[in-house]
Structure 1
């Protein structure tokens, strides 16, 4: 098969992926080959690829095999509300903050990837919510489909979460999902490695695909918890102001350490601020009518 030859794998492996469909789990090297092939494709092919995923309510590059030092292989499930893949975070204690204080967090799920422009477009179409100001003629540019949505304030993020049957994550939920239970400085460990995320030192100077940085994945299999965009949280700092975590492409790496907090007014919109959602066990099951 021509496709298999381009990836450098056997026909049998491609056939297995096709048979397993959404359940397919790819090795890191194979996922990287697929990423490269897609990146080198023309814009029409890329648009068709993202469109197919959006139609199926499936996120880009959803599941990969974790590195050996991860504490969790990634326990994923699709949410009934917006169809996004969510990672399961079990109940228990994690070491929180710069002082590594033990904090208990109940079981929850969190979006594997930040909310993308494609996700947000479906929300706007369903609710007639105002679209972000940078979309051209009210439509998201094709090359930004799988980038995190930006120019959304806290109220926009909260409205999306409510529509999806979820919530914005609390500071404790977000931090645990980002750094695991053992108090590591970054999702990948204690090393200050800017190449694992989209921050100022990386030099990209714009948002990137939410699944681009595979080696920066958290112990629970959650992506983009450092860099790309700051993420709105449910935790208020003062009336009308809410926490932000994770840093962005505009900020230095050290600001992205999950233990470090930022905040902003709930009406603030910027080109480096987005969000992802969380869900309690009750929010993972549709309500009976």
Structure 2
């Protein structure tokens, strides 16, 4: 766990940030545009209490210990299927038998991937693990503070895109998750790893595209009424470059896939 001291940080993007992100979309991804990130406006100073956050995403090995201790059954296991990214179709496909134990379907396993982040984890599956471990899921603001520090950086390492600092498949990396900590140069200023790429991460906040315009500025916890979807952060191994920035708010409906995992936080003093 990495300690994050209390204090203020800059949450969200500026218009200049979005212009730069849009230039990355044009130059690299070509499938994203500035309008997709309007929910990151406006940038605002947010004050947070101190807390601890997992230096790494929760791994298969850690989740296995939890399951063996509690006999917990994930949503994907109960349904008997989950979403798996198709490299050829460039979209998710429903695969029977895909779950955290068999990320690609029933013929695959995690035997060689125990130090990779666990995937096919629903929001409640992540929440159950964190509670068992005496922790909780991060709020959206806590996640962003750990990812970008107090200086309003666009990326964990600064304000210039560098594809070599994270695991994403569109600029030379192989498809799929990688062992936690495989990209130390991409760690945040607080030494929190894999905040961009590898797997997208659950936060505890309900998603609202208007929340930044009217939300709290002190220990914000998101909308008080369910919107039916929790915010995920950070993008994943199959996310294109323009989307991969510390302020991107993933507004997909709650589901499970081979690109979603999590990390936990713990309150400070």
Q: How does the TM-score come out when normalised to structure 1?
A: 0.64
Of 169, 193, 202, the residue aligned with 1:232 is: 202
| Partner residue in 1 for 2:69 | 126
**Structure 2 residue 119 is matched with structure 1 residue 150:** yes
SS at match of 1:250: coil
Shift in Å, 1:139: 9.8
Of 214, 218, 228, the residue aligned with 2:188 is: 218
Shift in Å, 1:239: 2.8
Structure possessing the higher radius of gyration over alpha carbons = 1
Shift in Å, 1:135: 1.9
Contact in 1 for aligned 2:57/2:262 (Cα 8 Å): yes
Deviation by residue 1:6-38 (Cα, 9 ceiling, x = unmatched): xxxxxxxxxxxxxxxxxxxxxxxxxxxxxxxxx
Give matches, 1:22-33, under 5 Å. Answer: none
| Partner residue in 1 for 2:60 | 117
| Partner residue in 1 for 2:87 | none
SS at match of 1:264: coil
- Structure with higher RCO (Cα < 8 A, 6+ apart): 2
For 2:114 and 2:126, the matched residues in 1 are separated by 17
Q: Which moved more, 1:226-235 or 1:98-107?
A: 98-107
Of 94, 102, 123, the residue aligned with 2:9 is: 94
Deviating 4+ runs (over 6 angstroms): none
Shift in Å, 1:138: 11
| Partner residue in 2 for 1:287 | none
Which stretches in structure 2 are left out of the alignment for 5+ residues? 15-42, 78-98, 208-225
For 2:3 and 2:100, the matched residues in 1 are separated by 33
Give matches, 1:116-195, under 5 Å. Answer: 116-130=59-73, 133-136=99-102, 141-195=110-164
Deviation by residue 1:107-134 (Cα, 9 ceiling, x = unmatched): 0000000000001001101110126625
Which stretches in structure 1 are left out of the alignment for 5+ residues? 1-85, 283-289
For 1:168 and 1:140, the matched residues in 2 are separated by 26
Shift in Å, 1:199: 1.4
Contact in 2 for aligned 1:227/1:253 (Cα 8 Å): no
> Cα RMSD (Å) of the superposition?
1.9
For 2:69 and 2:189, the matched residues in 1 are separated by 34
Q: How does the TM-score come out when normalised to structure 2?
A: 0.69
**Structure 2 residue 222 is matched with structure 1 residue 279:** no
